[in-house]
Amino acid sequence: MSRVSALSLFAIVPLILLLSSASMSRADDAQSPDLSAADAAFDSGQYAKAYSLYNASAKDGVLGYEAQVGVARCFMEVKQYTESESAFDEAIKLDDNRFEAYAGRGMAKWLQDKNKDAIVDLQRAIEINDQSVDGWLYLALSNQSLGKHDDALKLFDKAVALDDQRWFSFFQRAKTHLALDDPAAAIADYTRAIEINPNNTNAHRQRAIAYQQQEQYAEAIADINQRLAVLPLDTDSIEIRAEIYQASEELLMSARDYSALIGMNTNVPESLKSRGGCYMELELYQASIDDYLAASKLAPDQWTYANLATCYEYLDEYEKVDGFYTEALKLDPEYELALVWRAYARQRLKRFTEAKADYLAALKAGADDDPIALGNLSWLLSGCPDETVRDGRLALELATKANELYEGKQAWVVDNIAAAHAELGDFDNAVTWVQKAIELAESEEEQADIRTRLELYQNKQPARIE
């Protein structure tokens, strides 16, 4: 992935710091050309003019070291990184003991994602001048890009120790802290970056993400609002704020931001899905259905179909639940959740043979450690009115495993153990287990339901699905 677009917001300042005319040491001999006009043009942002002036200093068609570096940095500032790298090559041919050209070429390589090559140049720059902040900084960035975050952190520490007034060093070290799952340290570094450069709204945006990871939602919202006060149409920040609101369960505010993104025609399918999720949590099921349906037409996937099925389940429309889980399974035939809950829908629709087949397929696909799947299938195998579906021994095995997974704390699973014993004709154990289920029940309504089965077992009758 090219780093050009990713760095366009904040990379220019460090580039100028590295290769500004003030940082260049001029040869102190009479043959060194006067490049002050070229340097002045460069420092004022007139890169085309500076480029021409540096080239005009050539003697017999050959540029000196400083002029060659000047040409290279002009290319870099206009994001022509390949040309910049080549120009630094020429500078190094003229003098291979100057750190500026190695550091600059390393940076140009890093900007082209040539990180391993960049590291070689940046290490050479540091060998020549171990006080080069930029050498340490961009060596850290190259390691960061390679995912070597522990190494990168040590290198960022070195750069910060040499110069603790560069916001960019703190900003990038914060990214490494996040990669190392240390949001508190990231927050501290983003805070320091903001102190050095208060107008750096990008640091506010990134600190908001770190605060979100810490579940400090008020601080996260305050930071992202700082960013949006300056850039109100920054869709990335609007999306981040929507996610923060959703994580903090401010669902209406989250839905508002997703609506804004949809209105701005930004990432519409995902925004529809996310807003649909907010509406589902708010129990606005028809609004959720509308969003998921619209999203499924733009970018269908199994999860959107599953969410549609979930909405219809809340509305007790099980034919539609069946239909949308079927659509999900067309895209992913081994989607465990879809198999389990389509089975439940078919059970509710009294299509017991199909329900059993779905449950068994779900276990084969990997749901054999899902206590809900195990428990639901156990109840079907114990209580199904269709004797060709029932299997008391397998029901007892599945219910026992589900109970172990729940550590014996779920009344409905213990109730299923009782039902399996009853199906096997062991009514004494059925009574024992159903009494345990009554003790575990969390509401009077649940207790009353379970007692209906206690009466059946006391009368030597198995339970049946109605």
Q: What is the pLDDT of residues 98-137, one digit of tens each?
A: 999 999 999 999 999 999 999 999 999 999 999 999 999 9
For residues 275 and 292, what is the distance between their CA atoms, to the nearest angstrom? 9
- Ranges of each domain in the chain: 1-163
Local confidence band at 33 (pLDDT 50, 70, 90 cut-offs): low
Rounding to the nearest 10 degrees, give the CA dihedral for residues 447, 453, 455, 457.
-140
**Amino acid 462: pLDDT:** 97
- Return the amino acid letter for 229: A
Residue pLDDT, tens place only, 298-326? 999 999 999 999 999 999 999 999 999 99
Give 62's strand partners: 59
The residue type at 78: V
- pLDDT average, residue stretch 231-235: 96
Please provide the DSSP assignment of 325-368 as one string: HHHHHHH-TT-HHHHHHHHHHHHHTT-HHHHHHHHHHHHHHTGG
Q: Which residue in 403, 400, 401 sits closest to 421, CA to CA? A: 400
Task: Say what the pTM is.
Answer: 0.81
**What pLDDT is attached to residue 266?**
85
Q: What is the mean pLDDT of the chain?
A: 92
List Cβ neighbours of 242 (8 Å cut-off, separation of 6 or more): 254, 257, 258, 261, 274
pLDDT for 295 beyond 90: yes
Per-residue pLDDT averaged across 344-368, rounded?
Answer: 97
Classify domain 1-163 at the CATH class level: mainly alpha
